[in-house]
């Protein structure tokens, strides 16, 4: 069965829901972009003060916090943790690159 074979009202509802999903996806992308703007600033601050790119204690607190938020939002906490771990890994990679660039630019 294809969407052409289903009732017009069902197809309209399907399209309405998909438009909502598309809008939510756009919002998620924009929120991630804002988050990465902030983490880039953190990376520059860490590099300027020779702090390590990763902060395991902070990451642990964030995982606990995000799992609690996920539970209250009726989202699988394990999924939320996997998502945060993915994002944090990318942030750490950015911080390492920023630190390398900073060390190259200052000759240290």
> Which residues does 70 contact at the CB level (< 8 Å), separation at least 6?
76, 77, 79, 80, 81
| Average pLDDT, 10 consecutive residues per value, the chain (108 residues) | 76 96 98 98 96 96 97 98 96 96 83
33: left (phi over 0), alpha (psi -120 to 50) or beta: alpha
Q: Which of 26, 27, 8, 4 is nearest to 16 (CA)?
A: 8
Q: Report residue 36 as tokens.
A: 């990465």
Q: What is the Cα–Cα distance from 42 to 51, expressed in whole angstroms?
A: 10
Query: Is the pTM of the predicted complex or chain greater than 0.85?
Result: no
Under 8 Å between Cβ of 96 and 53: yes
């Amino acid at each position: 069965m294809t969407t052409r074979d289903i009732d017009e009202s069902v197809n309209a509802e399907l399209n309405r829901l998909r438009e909502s999903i598309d809008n939510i996806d756009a919002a998620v992308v924009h929120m991630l972009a804002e988050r990465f703007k902030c983490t880039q600033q953190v990376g520059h601050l860490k590099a300027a003060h020779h702090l390590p790119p990763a902060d395991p204690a902070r990451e642990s607190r964030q995982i606990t916090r995000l799992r609690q938020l996920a539970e209250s939002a009726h989202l699988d906490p394990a999924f939320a943790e996997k998502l945060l771990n993915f994002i944090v890994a990318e942030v750490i990679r950015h911080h390492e690159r920023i630190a390398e660039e900073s060390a190259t630019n200052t000759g240290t």
